Amino acid sequence: MKRLLSGITPSGDGSLHIGNYLGAVRQFIELAKSHETFLMVADLHGLTTIQDKFKLQHNIETLVLNELALLRGFMTESEFNNIIFFRQSDVPMHTECQSIINNVTPLGLLKRAHAYKDKLQKDVMEDDINVGLFSYPMLMAADILLYQADLVPVGKDQKQHVEITRDIAGYFNKIYKKNVFKLPDPFIPDEVAVVLGTDGQRKMSKTLGNVVSIFESEDVVRKQVMGAYTDPTRKHATDPGHIEGNMVFTYLGFFGHPTEVAALKEQYKAGKVSDVEVKEYLFKSLMSFFGPARSAYEELKNNPTLVKKILHSGQARALSVATQTMKGVRDAIGVTTTYSFFEYQKSTSGTHISIDEFARVEIRVGHVVEAANKEGSDKLIRLVVDVGEDSKRIIFTGVRGFGYTPDDFTGKQFFFITNLAPRKMMDEESQGMILAVDSPRSEAGGVDNKPQFISAEGMAVGAKIR
């Protein structure tokens, strides 16, 4: 299955309009059916323009709710669960990767990037442009490369960034003579045109105030619809009206019922229906089309725990891929050496687990009924343990090398993890694990590293740690 990654920046006020839906989110929903899909709230990208803490917080929260509501509103539960939805700032490797790939990127490549060039042309002095905006394509490249994405669905304005990403991946792989990064393809379906705003002139965009909102109150949406550009030549409802360039009919093409829309068009051309009536029909169509998403929005807004849970699970899945890629990057560039003392993954929040996850580990007091050296092994001691169940458990511990003998266990009580998947040890399955504490590491290693078992003497057999 090919992998897709895309992101939306929490710019403007963080909310999504019907242009964002038609131009972006709709594609994500469709492609997610046949692709492993990573969708990211690109909150760090927002910093190039938003430098007010409260505004950024507000925008992130709004975008998270808007995007999730659309996904949940228009996807089945199992389709939705396949999507890896996360926040860029929840995965620290994005900035780490950005800083490493900076070094394989020629300055000229960034100087040619539109976002920076356009700013310069608007009479903004170079000194007034922050490095974050200049290196915006680098962070976006890191976003994409970390996940080894095959496909990056974006609006036309972002195509150049994906091409820059391809170039950077190529430079890196060439310099380090290894295919560490996959070269991604931009994906811009032909039919994804830019949606014009209610002014009928310019691209629908929050900064231009010409949007039709998805999640605003009914009153606000109705007002936006009533203000839409229709046919300026038409003075009265009885005048024949024009359909071309009429924004109300443009939007109806996406959200109306085809046969009803066709009938309305005929009536409109014949001067038999008023603008207000057509707009009222558009308003109703929008409410019914986005109804499932609007309810999902209310549900999510009232359930921050659920939203956090979705983001948390997205983070975990994103981290595991990003960690894998960064391990390759670190190995390739030469920072992994004989003196490296940690597994990269252990140094990151990749190993943080939630309380919910921890609660799944079951630890019980166990009474060792029998203990014996396992025949044919010079490490294993075989314990028969009563953990308060009908039958006793067989649990192995590989500690003879530290000088432990069966007598150290027989008749005693310790803590055992009792819900591990059974693991085959020689000819038998070990049905749990005894808990031990490492000694402080000594230079000598070996016997000096002798682990200590945690005594549960005097506690009720089978009692659970919580």
Q: How far is CA 378 from CA 113, 175, 374, 408, 447, in A?
A: 65, 49, 8, 16, 15
DSSP state of 239: S
Task: Copy the structure tokens of residue 43.
Answer: 């909150």
138 contacts 110 by C-beta, under 8 angstroms: yes
Shortest Cβ 218–ligand TRP spacing (Å): 29
Kindly state the smallest distance separating residue 300's Cβ from ligand ADP, in Å. 19
**DSSP summary character for residue 346:** G
Q: How many residues bind ligand TRP (CB under 6 A)?
A: 13
> Should residue 214 be labelled a site residue for ligand ADP when binding is judged by CB under 6 A?
no
- Does position 144 bind ligand TRP by CB under 6 A? yes
- Side chain identity at 415, as an amino acid letter? F
Taking CB under 6 A as the rule, does residue 7 contact ligand TRP?
Answer: yes
Q: Indicate the pairing of strand 433-434 with strand 36-41.
A: unpaired
Which listed residue (205, 336, 345, 373) binds ligand ADP by CB under 6 A? 205
Residue selected from 15, 48, 66, 158 as contacting ligand TRP according to rule CB under 6 A = 158
Q: Is 19 an interacting residue with respect to ligand ADP (CB under 6 A)?
A: yes
DSSP string, 400-450: GGGT--GGGTTT-EEEEE--SPPEEETTEEE--EE-EEPPPP-TT-GGGG-
- Pick what 221 binds: ligand ADP, ligand TRP, none; C-beta below 5 to 8 Å, kind-dependent: none
| 16/145 with CB nearer ligand ADP | 16
- Please choose, out of 138-146, 189-197, 241-249, 372-380, the segment that lies near ligand TRP by the rule CB under 6 A: 138-146
Task: Indicate the residue among 8 and 365 with the shorter CB distance to ligand TRP.
Answer: 8
Which listed residue (3, 4, 5, 24) binds ligand ADP by CB under 6 A? Answer: 24
Please state, in angstroms and rounded to a whole number, the distance separating the CA atoms of residues 125 and 33: 46
- β 84-87/36-41 pair status: parallel
∠ CA 324-327-330, nearest 5°, is: 155
Told to check if 56 binds ligand ADP by CB under 6 A, we report no
Determine, following the binding rule CB under 6 A, whether residue 45 of this chain makes contact with ligand TRP.
Answer: yes
Contact 16, 70 (CB under 8 A): yes
Is residue 321 involved in binding ligand TRP (CB under 6 A)? no
Q: Is 42 in the site for ligand TRP (CB under 6 A)?
A: yes
Residues 178-207 that bind ligand TRP (CB under 6 A): none
- Give the bridge partners for 84, in sequence order: 38
Q: Is 194 in the site for ligand ADP (CB under 6 A)?
A: yes
Binding region for ligand TRP (CB under 6 A): 5-9, 42, 45, 140, 143-144, 152, 154, 158
